[in-house]
Structure formats: structure tokens, C-alpha cells
């Protein structure tokens, strides 16, 4: 039996470093190639030795697909292509292709230029890597080669995020990347058709969470921010440059306008301008409201949100600051946190998930002392977690399974204990096999092989509309509609066809032999109608009854043909009787018997 093989090189019972290797009908596809924000050593990148111990990856991979621009999904791409070695095709959407190199370069500057780390990719490597990228449109079928194709679906989550369906010889697998099944203030909800893949590989970040009302969350967020600045405090909101940042900026901008607040809101220099340009460029990826109002007003041009200057760090006045990155593992957000953490009047609001190993994860776990460069920082500022994460919750994951109707489910990008809970729910509700492999563990999933068969539309329609095909009595003979033929294509591959029996016999040179049966029906005819006229009446009755299901004709000699069955009318020994002869071959036995039953049922109609 054929098998699908899946090996997570990252994000197996873990969040971060997403990288999933799929083998489908001898084609090898890599989904995502991310880095782990919680590590600074070799564990930062996926372990590509699972693919090959030495040599380039191009010999083993048919293509690489990147779901979106977050670094835990694309951050290892230059390392893989330029340092490990891969020169095959890389697929991602247009917004992802535009934004990915900028985020990679920003992270490289923090890691290499500021921290002085070695064994990291260079600016030139990022440029060379991006030259291998092929941008795709939503719902566009891309032929990678003669057997492998892919299609992207809208995933919500962040600008340009996509779920991907890959198909090989009629069998398909869907990889979700990160997705959100509910629309928000700037993006729409994820959507996929009922594609019924052999396997759905889904993220499970919030596998055990069902979120409360979005409106309640937004109100709580605004109240916490307002209370903090009213008490003279500063609010730090760590975010990634694109995504939740725009969502919360729109929320605060609207609130500041309504409440006529004067306390400044700042965003890291340059990122707001870049974000605005990207949302203008890719406006079709946003939600309906923003698309409709974009001509009159750009929702991403903020009146109350100004660029942040590092000199503001020591200002005693209240302020709200959006700073990157979102997990407090490096950059400006970490620098501001160090400055503001020792003061009780300040607050940090974490709006998204933080992976293990990051400062964000530690303070959300309740840590009041955090170590930096052998120095201990006392955390006295308020720490709040408010889920504005654009990941699907448990309800959303179940909704996606219901939408695309997979035959198997495999969970990645989640914590093991939460995955186990969701795994049980999926088995209980859908009766599906659900897998959750760890990093480096290969899961083999048996699948049914699909064999394509060519059949003419004419033959298919005739068979489907034939009432005899619905006969359920296995003891009764069945009408032969088609013959399965196997031949060989020019390239040596098998070709399967279903064709009419007569055509099949002709192709293989079999001479047909026929046995004919004749049934004589005696119908009462007190009006003594002429046989030809009686045949005409019978013809009209049969035509009305059979509707265009069979080829029915009134022949010149007064006989009637229904496909290969012949019906003749003659005067019986008694002048008040008509003899109707129904003649058919053994091949048409079911049709002949069916016509005999119909004609007997016409007795009353024919004699009135």
C-alpha cells in the first residue's frame, strides 16, 4: 500500500523553527524553513542532516514552500540555501516575497552587527537566496514538474500568509502554516475549499484554547493601557513589525480619537512607513472594510502614532510604545524592557505567543528576576498577557477540518500536552487518525492509490440516467454498460479506459456471438386498431415513459427499436387481440425484461 511520510525538522511538539518534510508519491517537499527564537546555538536552525548527512539538499528536495514571513517560518532559508546548499525552486506569495528579505536583514543586523555572532548568513546570502523564490497568486495552480503541483489558499494570520495544497498523481496534502479562522480589523478569515486531501498538516498553537469575545478583549486592553498612562506609567507593547502591530495600532488610534487623549503613542522608526507601503501595495489581501474605505482613507496612516526615538527612553512622561520583536528576545523591545521593568507604574502587554527560551516566555511564566549578561534584572512592572494572536484556536482548527474534509490529520507547531488533548477531540468528533510526531520522528500514513480512468461523457451520462443501473438484486443479471481496458501510453505508463462493449470487442478483435430471446405479449384490442397504428400508439407511450434514456425509433416496417431491442405488432388469432413480440439479445436481457414489464402495464391505456 502507498504511504505518505512526514518528518518535522522543527515545530514537532514545539513552537518555533517550523520545518516539515513531506514525501508524497516519491516527491519530497519542504514546508517552511524557520529559526527558533529561543536558541543562540546550532539548535536555532532545523537539523537538515535528517535529509542528507552531507552534500547539497537539491538532490533530495523537489521544492520548498514558505507559508508566511514570520522568522520562525522563514528565518533559516538563507542558511539552508547558501550555507547548507539548495538551488531548487522556493514558492511563496507575493507579499511574503516582498517582506521576507527585509525582516531577514533586520534580524541579521541584530544578530551579527550588534551581538557579533559568527556562523550566520550575510546580506549577500539573503539576496542570493531570494533570487530562487517564485511568487504565486492565491488559487493559482503551479506545475512544479509533470507530476507535482501546488495551490495557495488565503490563511489570514499576517499579510500574505497562505495555506498550501500539494498534489502528486491525484493525491494531495494540505499544509496550513499559521492561520486564523476569524476576521480581524485588517485581515480576513482563512478559507479553503472542500478539497478532501489525504492529509491535513495543521498548526496547533492554541490547541486547548477557545477564545473569549474579541470585543471584550479589546475593551480590557484599552482599559489597561488607559489606567496605566493615567497613573503616570509607560506601556510597552512588544510586537512583530507586521500583523498584530497594525491590528493594535488601528484599535488605539480609534480609541485615542474618540477619547481625545494627548499621551503620545510611538512605533519603532521606519517600520510604520514600511508597513503602510506594504498594505497599500497588497490591499487585496486585507479585509473587505479596509478595501472599501481605502480610496477615501488609508486605515494605516495614523494621526496619533509617531516614530519612536531612543532619546525618549529616559523621558519621565507617560507614553505607549510599540517595539519589535514580539517575544522580547532581542532588539528595541528588549532594550526598552530593561529600562522600564524596575518601575511599578509601568506595564508590558504581551499580545502574542512567546516560545520557550525568550524573555517574553519567562515573564509570562511569572519570573520576577531575569538574568542578562550575568546581571539580574528585577521585574517590578506589571506584566499582562492579552491574546491578540492571529492563530486559530481549538474551535477554528476543528472548523478547518470540517471545511476541507481530510482523511488524516497531523498536528505541528504546538506544545505536546495541548496537542494530545486536541488529538483526542479530533478522533472523537471526526473519527480520523490524528498524528503528532516529535522533531526527527517520521510518521508513515497508509493511503489508497487513485488510478485515473478515462470514460466518455456520453457513456457516463447514459449509465447514470439508466433506471436499470439502480437494480439492487444481486441475483438478477445486469446490463453491461462498459468494459475496462488497459493499454500503454507513449511514455510507457498505463492508460485505463472504460468504453462501450462493442468498441472494446472491436479493439481486441473478438467476434460477437448473440443469443436472442423473444417474448410474445397478447394485448386486448376491442377497437381492432390496425397493427401499424397500434405500433404508433405504443411508440408514443414508450417514448413518453423512457424519456431520452434510450435511442427509440419507429421503423418504416412498423416495428419499434429501443437500443438493440426490437418490438413488432401483429394481429392475433383472435381479432380482439394484438400480439406484441419483444426480441432482445442476452446482452440486453435486463432492458428486454424491463420493456416487457412496461408494455404489460400499458394494457389499459392502449385499449381505451
- Round to whole Å and give the CA distance between 405 and 197: 7
User: Highest mean pLDDT: which of 413-422, 512-521, 528-537?
Assistant: 413-422
Q: Is the pLDDT of residue 230 over 90?
A: yes
pLDDT at 236: 96
Please give the Cα distance from 16 to 181 (Å, whole number).
21
Looking only at the bridges linking them, the beta strands covering 27-31 and 319-323 are unpaired
Lowest mean pLDDT of 124-133, 204-213, 553-562, name the range: 204-213
Q: How far is CA 118 from CA 111, 243, 332, 432, 603, in A?
A: 9, 30, 21, 46, 97
| pLDDT classification of 268: cutoffs 50, 70, 90 | confident
Q: Which grid coordinates belong to 371?
A: 538574568
Q: Dihedral sign, CA of 413, 417, 420, 426?
A: negative
User: DSSP secondary-structure letter at 515?
Assistant: -
In this prediction, residue 295 has a pLDDT band, given cuts at 50, 70 and 90, of low
Give me the phi and psi of 485, to 5 degrees please.
Answer: -115, 140
Burial 309-325 (b: 16+ CB within 10 A, else e): eeeeeeeeebbbbbbbb
The helix (run of H) or strand (run of E) holding residue 164 is strand 162-168
CA angle 52, 439, 356 (to 5 degrees): 130
pLDDT band for position 479 (50/70/90)? low
CA distance 413 to 61: 22
- Report the C-alpha gap between 5 and 28 in whole angstroms: 9
What is the arithmetic mean of pLDDT over 478-496? Answer: 81
Residues 346, 337: Cα–Cα separation, whole Å: 10
pLDDT in tens, 186-227: 889 999 999 999 999 999 998 888 877 778 889 999 999 999
Amino acid 605: pLDDT: 67
Which residues are within 8 A (CB) of 174 and not within 5 positions of it... i.e. 6 or more apart? Answer: 163, 164, 165, 192, 195, 197, 199, 200, 201, 404, 406
Max avg pLDDT among 26-30, 34-38, 104-108, 515-519? 26-30
Asked if residue 560 lies in contact with residue 539, where contact means CB atoms within 8 angstroms, the answer is yes
CB 153 within 8 A of CB 191: yes
The mean predicted confidence, pLDDT, of the chain is 88
The predicted pLDDT at position 604 comes to 65
pLDDT of 106 higher than 90: no
Confidence of residue 482 (pLDDT cuts 50, 70, 90): confident
Domain annotation for the chain: domains and CATH numbers: 6-211+393-447 (3.60.15.10), 213-385 (3.40.50.10890), 454-508 (no CATH), 516-607 (3.30.310.50)
At 93, list the grid cell.
506569495
User: Which residue shows C-alpha cell 401499424?
Assistant: 532
Question: What are the cell numbers at 161?
Answer: 500568509
pLDDT at residue 273 is higher than 80: no
Q: What pLDDT is attached to residue 470?
A: 57
Give the closest residue to 18 by CA, choosing from 165, 260, 204.
204
Residue corresponding to grid cell 475549499: 193
**For the chain, counts of helices (H) and of strands (E):** 17, 30
Q: Could you give the C-alpha distances from 469 to 428, 477, 481, 590, in angstroms and in order? A: 37, 11, 9, 10
Q: Of the listed 82, 167, 198, 203, which one is catalytic? A: 203
123-130 and 94-108 helices cross at what angle (nearest 10)? Answer: 170
pLDDT, position 233? 97
Mention every residue, 6+ apart, whose C-beta is less than 8 A from residue 435.
6, 408, 409, 410, 411, 443, 445
Lowest mean pLDDT of 97-106, 519-528, 598-607, name the range: 598-607
Most confident of 188-197, 504-513, 516-525: 188-197
Half-sphere exposure in the Cβ direction for 261 (13 Å, CA): 22
pLDDT > 90 in the chain, percent: 53
pLDDT of residue 466: 65
Task: Please tell me the distance from the alpha carbon of residue 141 to that of residue 237, in angstroms, as a whole number.
Answer: 40
Q: Which residues are within 8 A (CB) of 219 and not within 5 positions of it... i.e. 6 or more apart?
A: none
Nearest to 86 by CA among 109, 57, 129: 57
pLDDT of residue 471 exceeding 60, the answer is: no
Tell me the three state secondary structure of residue 171: strand
The H-assigned helical ranges of 75-213 are 77-78, 94-108, 123-130
Distance of CA 323 to the CA centre of its chain: 32
The pTM score is 0.72
> Mean pLDDT throughout 323-352?
91
- pLDDT higher than 70, residue 601: yes
CB 454, CB 23: distance < 8 Å: no
Who's near 606: CB < 8 A, 6+ residues apart? 523, 525, 534, 537, 538, 541
- pLDDT band of residue 513 (cuts 50, 70, 90) is confident
Concatenating the DSSP letter of every residue in 408-450 gives EEEEESS-HHHHHHHHHHHHHHH--EEE-PPTT--EEEEEPPP
How confident is the model over 303-323, as a mean pLDDT? 92
Largest CA distance in the chain: 120
Decide: residue 485, CB within 10 A, 0-12 exposed, 13-18 middle, 19+ buried.
Answer: middle
Give the orientation angle of helix 94-108 with respect to helix 271-281, to 10 degrees. 170
**Cβ partners under 8 Å of residue 597, min gap 6:** none
In this predicted structure, what is the pLDDT of residue 607? Answer: 58
pLDDT top residue among 190 and 281: 190
Angle between the N-to-C axes of helices 214-230 and 244-259, in degrees from 0 to 180, rounded to the nearest 10? 60
Eight-class DSSP state of 110: I
Tens digits of residue pLDDT in 241-261:
777 788 888 899 999 999 999
Q: Please, which pLDDT band fits residue 135 given cuts at 50, 70 and 90?
A: very high
- Mark residue 230 as left, alpha or beta (left: phi above 0; alpha: psi -120 to 50; beta: remaining): alpha
Predicted pLDDT at 478: 63
Q: Rounded to 5, what percent of the chain is helix, strand, coil?
A: 35, 25, 40
Count how many Cα atoms sit within 13 Å of the Cα of residue 404 in the half-sphere of its side chain. Answer: 29
Judged by DSSP in three states, 549 sits in coil
Residue 203 annotated among the catalytic residues of the structure: yes
- pLDDT at site 608: 57
254 in the Ramachandran plot: left (φ > 0), alpha (ψ -120 to 50) or beta? alpha
DSSP string, 259-271: HT--S-EEEETTH
- pLDDT tens column, 11-63: 999 998 999 999 999 999 999 999 998 788 888 999 999 998 887 999 999 99
Amino acid at each position: 500500500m502507498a504511504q505518505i511520510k512526514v518528518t518535522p525538522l522543527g515545530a514537532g511538539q514545539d513552537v518555533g523553527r517550523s520545518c516539515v518534510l513531506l514525501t508524497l508519491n516519491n516527491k519530497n517537499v519542504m514546508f517552511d524553513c524557520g529559526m527558533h527564537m529561543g536558541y543562540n546555538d546550532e539548535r536555532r536552525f532545523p537539523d537538515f542532516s535528517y535529509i542528507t548527512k552531507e552534500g547539497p539538499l537539491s538532490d533530495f528536495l523537489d521544492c520548498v514552500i514558505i507559508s508566511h514571513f514570520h522568522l520562525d517560518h522563514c528565518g533559516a532559508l538563507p542558511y539552508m540555501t547558501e550555507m547548507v546548499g539548495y538551488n531548487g525552486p522556493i514558492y511563496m506569495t507575493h507579499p511574503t516575497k516582498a517582506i521576507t528579505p527585509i525582516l531577514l536583514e533586520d534580524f541579521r543586523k541584530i544578530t551579527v552587527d550588534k551581538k557579533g555572532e559568527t556562523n550566520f548568513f550575510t546580506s549577500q546570502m539573503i539576496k542570493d537566496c531570494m533570487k530562487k523564490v517564485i511568487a504565486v497568486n492565491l488559487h493559482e495552480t503551479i506545475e512544479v514538474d509533470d507530476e507535482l503541483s501546488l495551490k495557495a489558499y488565503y490563511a489570514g494570520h499576517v499579510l500574505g500568509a497562505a495555506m498550501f495544497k500539494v498534489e502528486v498523481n491525484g493525491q494531495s496534502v494540505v499544509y496550513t502554516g499559521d492561520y486564523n479562522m476569524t476576521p480581524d480589523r485588517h485581515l480576513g478569515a482563512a478559507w479553503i475549499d472542500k478539497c478532501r486531501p489525504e492529509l491535513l498538516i495543521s498548526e496547533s498553537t492554541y490547541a486547548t484554547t477557545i477564545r473569549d469575545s474579541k470585543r471584550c478583549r479589546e475593551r480590557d486592553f484599552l482599559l489597561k493601557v488607559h489606567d496605566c498612562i493615567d497613573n503616570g506609567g509607560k506601556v510597552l507593547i512588544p510586537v512583530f513589525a507586521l500583523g498584530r502591530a497594525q491590528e493594535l495600532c488601528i484599535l488605539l488610534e480609534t480609541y485615542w480619537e474618540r477619547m481625545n487623549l494627548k499621551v503620545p503613542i510611538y512605533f519603532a522608526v521606519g517600520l510604520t512607513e514600511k508597513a503602510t507601503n506594504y498594505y497599500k501595495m497588497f490591499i487585496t489581501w486585507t479585509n473587505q472594510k479596509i478595501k472599501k474605505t481605502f480610496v477615501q482613507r488609508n486605515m494605516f496612516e495614523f494621526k496619533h502614532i509617531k516614530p519612536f526615538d531612543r532619546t525618549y527612553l529616559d523621558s519621565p512622561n507617560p507614553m505607549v510604545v510599540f517595539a519589535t520583536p514580539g517575544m522580547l528576545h532581542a532588539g528595541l523591545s528588549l532594550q526598552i524592557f530593561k529600562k522600564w521593568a524596575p518601575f511599578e507604574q509601568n506595564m508590558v502587554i504581551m499580545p502574542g505567543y512567546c516560545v520557550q527560551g525568550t524573555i517574553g516566555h519567562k515573564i509570562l511564566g511569572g519570573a520576577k528576576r531575569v538574568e542578562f549578561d550575568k546581571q539580574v534584572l528585577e521585574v517590578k512592572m506589571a506584566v499582562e498577557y492579552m491574546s491578540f494572536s492571529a492563530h486559530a484556536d481549538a474551535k477554528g482548527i476543528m472548523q478547518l477540518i470540517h471545511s476541507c474534509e481530510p482523511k488524516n490529520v497531523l498536528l505541528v507547531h504546538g506544545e505536546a500536552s495541548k496537542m494530545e488533548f486536541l488529538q483526542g477531540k479530533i478522533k472523537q468528533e471526526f473519527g480520523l487518525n490524528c498524528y503528532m510526531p516529535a522533531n526527527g520522528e517520521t510518521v508513515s500514513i497508509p493511503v489508497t492509490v487513485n488510478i485515473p480512468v478515462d470514460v466518455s461523457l456520453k457513456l457516463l451520462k447514459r449509465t447514470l440516467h439508466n433506471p436499470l443501473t439502480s437494480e439492487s438484486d444481486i441475483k438478477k443479471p445486469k446490463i453491461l454498460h462498459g468494459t475496462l481496458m488497459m493499454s500503454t501510453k507513449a511514455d510507457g505508463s498505463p492508460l485505463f479506459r472504460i468504453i462501450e462493449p462493442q468498441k472494446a470487442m472491436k479493439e481486441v478483435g473478438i467476434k460477437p456471438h448473440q443469443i436472442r430471446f423473444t417474448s410474445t405479449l397478447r394485448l386486448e384490442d376491442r377497437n381492432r386498431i390496425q397493427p401499424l397504428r397500434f405500433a404508433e400508439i405504443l411508440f408514443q407511450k414508450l417514448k413518453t415513459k423512457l424519456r431520452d434514456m434510450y435511442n427509440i425509433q419507429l421503423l418504416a416496417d412498423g416495428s419499434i427499436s429501443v437500443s438493440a431491442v426490437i418490438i413488432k405488432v401483429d394481429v392475433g388469432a383472435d381479432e380482439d387481440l394484438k400480439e406484441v413480440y419483444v426480441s432482445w439479445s442476452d446482452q440486453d436481457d435486463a432492458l428486454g425484461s424491463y420493456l416487457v414489464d412496461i408494455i404489460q402495464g400499458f394494457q389499459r391505456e392502449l385499449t381505451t
